[in-house]
């Protein structure tokens, strides 16, 4: 089978605890909308408070895992995708395993004996979301797990790799192993800027792997933060995308392509010294449920076409289709079959 295990993702598997909250809740826990942060001491009581909320939902998540699941759904080819990350030996971990396996992803989790499965509070106000991740077990991933023969075999088998920037905080040595393998074997390696805090506080790690990235994904806020921390003195997303695409590369096999989403505004694609913009599918406000997983779904849709060798405009269309489906549902979920052509 041509597509067997073609795409491999690595990241932080988190159980989303999603609830509609109000402005007072955001103020109480010092949360900004459309942001993604790591939980601090002050956020810990919030998880309990959300769990007691009558509209709370539990959805298997984590940025990379979402993207891989969406790619798998779009492909509708059994066993095309694999995923690695660390969960706890607990009820949430079992749920996660069940959910991802049912989605058709070949998951190879490292199971940590002592830490609970990671969670992510998804606070929804007016359809917009804010994410506060309590990594717990997800933070315990070790490259020894990746090096196990049965897991490294998945690296050998894959032709495309995707890792969200969030994993930079957990296991840079695992990223290094995969990035070097991809460069040495003419495979496609892609990452995501993921969040402003990654661009700001994990700048060195991000820069270290940028030369290996054949595709860089992100949104407009992350792109502008990236520009700011690198002293580029521009807020122009097209210009920033172009600069990122022209950053030196570790291997000359592929030219880097930067893909930046901007919510309802056009998707910016920079490649080969040129910038193109692609309109998204506009959605009436009343159909918007929440934006949680929109960016992840875009990447999943994009990758589902990329692994089939489709041109970039088709990859972008598929990304826009997938994110349009996801924002009309709670969390990063989707109907049984895609309706993309």
Whether 228 has a pLDDT exceeding 80, the answer reads yes
Report the percentage of the chain scoring pLDDT > 90.
87
Model confidence over 239-273: pLDDT tens digits?
Answer: 999 999 999 999 888 999 999 999 999 999 999 99
Between residues 341 and 54, which one has the greater pLDDT? 54
What CATH number does residue 245 fall under?
A: 3.40.1190.20
Whether 127 has a pLDDT exceeding 90, the answer reads no
- The residue range of the domain holding 254 is 7-13+61-118+135-327
- pLDDT band per the 50, 70, 90 thresholds, residue 150: very high
Least confident of 122-131, 167-176, 193-202, 214-223: 122-131
What are the C-alpha distances in Å from 111 to residues 67, 72, 219?
A: 21, 23, 32
Answer yes or no: is 129 within a domain: no
User: How high is the mean pLDDT of the chain?
Assistant: 95
Q: What is the pTM of this model?
A: 0.94
- pLDDT band per the 50, 70, 90 thresholds, residue 289: confident
Residue with tokens 């989605």: 103
- Report, as residue numbers or ranges, the catalytic residues: 296
Contacts of 97 (CB under 8 A, 6+ apart): 87, 107, 109
Count structural domains, the chain. Answer: 1
- pLDDT band per the 50, 70, 90 thresholds, residue 182: very high
Answer yes or no: is 32 within a domain: no
Answer yes or no: is 336 within a domain: no
- pLDDT band per the 50, 70, 90 thresholds, residue 60: confident
pLDDT at residue 114 in the model? 95
The C-alpha atoms of residue 205 and residue 30 are separated, in whole angstroms, by 27
Answer yes or no: is 83 within a domain: yes
Answer yes or no: is 27 within a domain: no
Answer yes or no: is 337 within a domain: no
pLDDT at residue 331 in the model? 81
pLDDT at residue 309 in the model? 96
Between residues 291 and 13, which one has the greater pLDDT? 13
What are the C-alpha distances in Å from 175 to residues 127, 163, 199, 261?
A: 33, 8, 16, 24
Give the pLDDT mean for 4-16. Answer: 96
Answer yes or no: is 148 within a domain: yes
pLDDT at residue 1 in the model? 66
Answer yes or no: is 23 within a domain: no
H helix intervals, 191-334: 196-201, 203-209, 220-229, 237-245, 294-306, 312-326
């Amino acid at each position: 089978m041509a597509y067997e295990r073609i795409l491999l993702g690595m990241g932080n598997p988190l159980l989303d605890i999603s609830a509609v909250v109000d402005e007072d809740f955001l103020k109480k826990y010092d949360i900004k909308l459309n942001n993604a942060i790591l939980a601090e001491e002050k956020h810990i009581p919030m998880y309990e408070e959300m769990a007691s909320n009558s509209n709370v939902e539990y959805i298997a998540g984590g940025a990379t895992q979402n993207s891989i699941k969406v790619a798998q759904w779009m492909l509708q080819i059994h066993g095309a995708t694999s995923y690695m990350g660390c969960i706890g030996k607990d009820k949430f971990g079992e749920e996660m395993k069940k959910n991802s396996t049912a989605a058709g992803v070949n998951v190879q989790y490292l199971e940590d004996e002592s830490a609970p499965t990671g969670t992510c509070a998804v606070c929804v106000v007016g359809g917009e979301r804010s994410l506060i991740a309590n990594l717990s077990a997800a933070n315990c991933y070790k490259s020894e797990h990746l090096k196990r023969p049965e897991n490294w075999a998945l690296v050998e088998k894959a032709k495309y790799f995707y890792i969200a920037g969030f994993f930079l905080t957990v296991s840079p040595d695992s990223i290094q192993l995969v990035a070097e393998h991809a460069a040495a074997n003419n495979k496609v390696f892609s990452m995501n800027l993921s969040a402003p805090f990654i661009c700001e506080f994990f700048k060195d790690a991000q820069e270290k792997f940028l030369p290996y990235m054949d595709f860089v994904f992100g949104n407009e806020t992350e792109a502008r933060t990236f520009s700011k921390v690198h002293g580029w003195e521009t807020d122009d997303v097209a210009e920033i995308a172009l600069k990122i695409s022209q950053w030196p590369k570790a291997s000359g096999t592929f030219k880097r392509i930067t893909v930046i989403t901007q919510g309802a505004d056009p998707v910016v694609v920079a490649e080969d010294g040129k910038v193109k913009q692609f309109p998204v599918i506009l959605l009436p406000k009343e159909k918007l449920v929440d934006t949680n997983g929109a960016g992840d779904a875009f990447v999943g849709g994009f990758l589902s076409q990329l692994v089939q060798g489709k041109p970039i405009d088709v990859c972008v269309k598929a990304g826009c289709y997938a994110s349009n489906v996801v924002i009309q549902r709670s969390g990063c979920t989707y109907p049984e079959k895609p309706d993309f052509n």
